[in-house]
């Protein structure tokens, strides 16, 4: 066995990917990085603000402070604070004998509205987890496995070609058989390509992804409406007039009709309201960007895998409208690029292919590895017409 043949075999053996068996792909990402950020911010920020509101309530005691008459005892003043916080209604004179009332309930409902907002923002995540993740994980496992296997099959094919060429005594027979195999497409493994082509006609994943982001936009709009309609109405009101002349106290002459109270928790209320508006205003462009990514193909990922036999979705112009399951799968393949061991090898081969001087002879990884192993990717010129060599 020649030294060149041995070196070529070692080179091809090193190019083979390790066989991953047993528990594989444990770190498979089933959420895109931006979707994960949106989830943590949209769900986590209301919970953080809720904890801030509860912390202020526990540390400061009563969220209001009422200016009770001087003749009230401590217990009577505490009763005024408790009664006014329970009612939380602002009484305002709207003319002679007319009493206009305005409810300030958003102050009391602040922590619970934040909890409801967090639960609402988590609903799209649950939808994705139960409606899309099972099918997506099986698709990714199959596609990642087949891409790596297709690369390994190409390398083993070159190893087999090298052995046949080394054992063949007649180079004409070898090249004739090789050209016949290429003509009959023996080197191609179309299962994966056909599977991906079928995914172009499927729309379950993309529909779930669109619904998830649309629900996020809908719930964000509902949050804006809630904050604008209810919080803005009481945002600047620091004091309110409370009436405790109800029940047994309605006929008591020494009890004033209105008592002025001050909202000590107004600063937290304002911080929570402004923070919610700012956070969800930042999230809206991110959600819209996630939706716009479905309108274009990730052609760089596809162009790298064009070097595999029978993976020519780009060159055959098989890509149509990008709003389908295949585009969603490509986005998740990009997010799980660390699981695609063959991607780094094929990326290097693509760079080398672009810099080689024989670009017209190299289409697939089989052609390139054949060249690196010391074989011509196509029949040498001195073997194309043996009759001419014998009769010049």
Residue ranges per domain, the chain? 3-373
Specify whether the CB–CB gap between 31 and 124 falls below 8 A. no
Predicted local confidence at residue 390, as pLDDT: 44
Closest CA to 289 of 223, 203, 216: 216
Bigger pLDDT: 8 or 68?
Answer: 68
Name the more confident of 216 and 264: 216
Angle subtended by helix axes 33-60 and 204-226, to nearest 10: 30
Structure confidence at residue 82 (pLDDT): 81
- Average pLDDT over every residue of 298-306: 79
- Dihedral of the alpha carbons of 197, 329, 130, 37, in degrees to the nearest 10: -160
- Show the CA angle centred on residue 305, arms to residues 339 and 24, nearest 5°: 20
Q: Counting beta carbons within 10 angstroms of the beta carbon of residue 74, is it exposed (0 to 12), middle (13 to 18) or buried (19 or more)?
A: exposed
pLDDT score, position 208: 95
Highest mean pLDDT range out of 168-172, 352-356, 380-384? 352-356
Site of tokens 């809206």: 284
Nearest-angstrom CA–CA distance, 286 and 276: 16
> Are 132 and 174 within 8 A, CB to CB?
no
The pLDDT tens digits for 94-121 are 656 566 778 888 888 888 999 999 999 9
DSSP assignment of 282-333 equals HHHHHHHHHHHGGGS--HHHHHHHTTSTT--TTTTT----S-SHHHHHHHHH
Distance of CA 186 to the CA centre of its chain: 39
Q: State pLDDT tens for residues 53-77.
A: 888 878 777 788 888 777 777 787 7
Compute the distance between CA of residue 269 and CA of residue 238 in angstroms, rounded to an integer: 11
Q: Give the C-alpha separation, 287 to 39, whole Å.
A: 10
- The arrangement of strands across the sheet holding 259-263 comes to 64-66, 259-263, 239-242
Which residues lie across from 242 on neighbouring strands?
259
Q: pLDDT of 250-293, one tens digit each? A: 556 667 778 888 888 888 889 999 999 999 999 999 999 999 99
The tens digit of pLDDT for each residue in 9-35 reads 545 555 556 666 545 556 788 999 999
């Amino acid at each position: 066995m020649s030294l060149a043949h041995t070196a070529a075999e070692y080179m091809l053996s090193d190019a083979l990917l390790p066989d991953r068996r047993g528990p594989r792909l444990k770190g498979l990402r089933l959420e895109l990085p931006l979707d994960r950020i949106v989830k943590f911010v949209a769900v986590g920020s209301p919970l953080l603000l809720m904890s801030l509101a509860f912390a202020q309530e526990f540390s400061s005691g009563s969220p209001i402070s009422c200016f009770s008459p001087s003749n009230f005892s401590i217990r009577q003043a505490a009763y005024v604070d408790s009664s006014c916080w329970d009612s939380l209604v602002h009484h305002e004179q709207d003319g002679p004998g007319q009493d206009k009332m305005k409810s300030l309930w958003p102050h009391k409902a602040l922590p619970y509205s934040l909890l409801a907002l967090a639960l609402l923002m988590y609903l799209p995540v649950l939808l994705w987890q139960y409606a899309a993740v099972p099918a997506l994980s099986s698709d990714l496992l199959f596609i990642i496995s087949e891409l790596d296997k297709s690369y390994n099959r190409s390398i083993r094919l070159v190893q087999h070609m090298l052995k046949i060429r080394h054992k063949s005594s007649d180079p004409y027979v070898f090249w004739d058989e090789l050209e016949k195999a290429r003509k009959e497409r023996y080197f191609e493994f179309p299962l994966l390509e056909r599977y991906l082509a079928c995914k172009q006609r499927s729309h379950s994943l993309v529909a779930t992804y669109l619904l998830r982001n649309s629900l996020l936009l809908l719930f964000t709009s509902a949050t804006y409406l809630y904050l604008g309609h209810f919080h803005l109405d009481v945002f600047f009101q620091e004091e309110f007039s409370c009436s405790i002349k109800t029940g047994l106290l309605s006929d008591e002459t020494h009890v004033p009709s209105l008592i002025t109270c001050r909202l000590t928790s107004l600063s937290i209320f304002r911080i929570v309201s402004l923070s919610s508006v700012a956070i969800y205003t930042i999230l809206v462009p991110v959600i819209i960007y996630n939706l716009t990514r479905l309108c274009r193909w990730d052609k760089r990922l596809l162009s790298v895998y064009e070097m595999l036999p029978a993976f020519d979705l780009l060159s055959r112009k098989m890509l149509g409208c990008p709003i389908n399951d295949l585009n969603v799968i490509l986005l998740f393949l990009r997010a799980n690029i660390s699981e695609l061991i063959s991607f780094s090898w094929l990326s290097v081969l693509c760079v080398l292919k672009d810099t080689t001087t024989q670009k017209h002879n190299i289409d697939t990884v089989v052609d390139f590895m054949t060249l690196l192993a010391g074989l011509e990717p196509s029949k040498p010129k001195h073997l194309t017409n043996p009759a001419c060599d014998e009769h010049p």
